[in-house]
């Protein structure tokens, strides 16, 4: 029962926060699932990954996410 209550409270919080973005919770979560990054290689300084999208949705619910991530050199190729 506590898990259901926590899920309900989370959905309500997301709904009330993201209403300003004119998004449903389902649409907001779908947009967050598309967070992607691009590898940046500054001249002679290694490499890093830069987050490209959806930062505003996370910021609205006080989730802080670095704009730059350390590259792990793991690549995923899909058939899409």
CA–CA gap between residue 41 and residue 37 (Å, rounded): 13
Whether 60 is in a domain gets the answer yes
Whether 78 is in a domain gets the answer no
Whether 76 is in a domain gets the answer no
Number of domains in the chain: 1
Whether 58 is in a domain gets the answer yes
Tell me: the pLDDT tens digits for 25-56? 998 888 877 666 666 666 766 665 555 556 77
Whether 77 is in a domain gets the answer no
pTM assigned to the model: 0.54
């Amino acid at each position: 029962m506590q898990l259901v209550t926590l899920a309900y409270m989370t959905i309500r919080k997301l709904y009330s926060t993201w209403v300003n973005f004119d998004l449903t919770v389902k649409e907001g979560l779908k947009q967050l699932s598309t967070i992607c990054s691009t590898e940046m290689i500054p001249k002679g300084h290694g490499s890093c990954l830069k987050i490209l999208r959806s930062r505003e949705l996370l910021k609205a619910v006080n989730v802080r996410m670095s704009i730059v991530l350390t590259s792990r050199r793991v690549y995923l190729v899909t058939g899409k």
